[in-house]
Amino acid sequence: MQETKNYSRIIAGTMTWGSWGKKLSKWEMTKLMNHCVENGLTTFDHADIYGDYSTEEDFGSAFAESGIERSSIQLITKCGIQMTSGRKNQLKHYEYSKDYIIWSAEASIKKLNSEYLDLFLLHRPSPLMEPHEIAEAITHLLDSGKIKSFGVSNFTPSQIAMLEKTIAVSGNQVEFSLTHTDPMYDGTFDDCITKDRMAMAWSPLGSVFRKDGKKTKRIKKKLKTLAEKYGAEESQLLLAWLLKHPSVVHPVIGTANKERMVLSAKATEIDLELQDWFDLLAASQGHEVP
């Protein structure tokens, strides 16, 4: 279903590029996106809410001065989450009316300084989603050339099946890492393989470097051994572990550090041996496979 050959296997996530993180200047952002492209990270992941609805516009302003050809990169963004910061909402909620979806896509296109989006995602499922209304909006955006593909983020296979009563879903972006392996067991990646959907993983390094518990200690101990064997950095091995899954996972990395971006891109060159892959899984689960 989804043509993914043009998407970089490692996707550059922009959530921390703006006010939610590094607060990069226009010049810094321009340099960083050129650095990404030079190192094979041609796909950029956004969401309208990043930076309290400001990061898309910051990126678009920098992109206009980057000298990068639009056809050489891929832009992904998401809509649907309504925040109280950055908009006049009384509380956080989800909005998936036809008019809002169309308006949100068009607003993101304008902010990103683009004529279209390569992939447009519904950010999180809403209990009030109406498949036919969503389909009308997405069909309009596809037919008008404003989006090339439609997908979802954080959706279960049954929620996607509900949407597919009326509209094809090309990809699903979910949380997946060595410390959060649910998509391998709850049907999410089975669905991606069965339906040929693009599988994307946010927070691909998980909590390995953020938490100090029994699980992360076991993983770090194993990574230390494997880093020496493969001549690789530990974060590269965590990405390599994801990349071996048959659903062809595209990790969305959140770093804005140029060196870590290069290391992440090179993780695609690491082919973990079968038993090393299961060794890391056992370290995460605390026991060998049944």
Instruction: Say which of 7, 50, 53, 96 is annotated catalytic.
Output: 50
Residue for token pair 């492209």:
37
CB 175 within 8 A of CB 205: no
What three-state secondary structure class fits 124?
A: coil
- Number of neighbouring beta carbons within 10 Å of residue 170: 21
Burial class (CB in 10 A: 0-12, 13-18, 19+), 246: exposed
Nearest Cα to Cα of residue 208 among 174, 243, 234: 234
- Number of neighbouring beta carbons within 10 Å of residue 194: 11
What three-state secondary structure class fits 120?
A: strand
For residue 50, indicate whether it is catalytic: yes
CB 134 within 8 A of CB 167: yes
Beta bridge partners of 152: 122, 172
- H or E stretch including 79? strand 74-79
Residues annotated catalytic, as ranges: 50
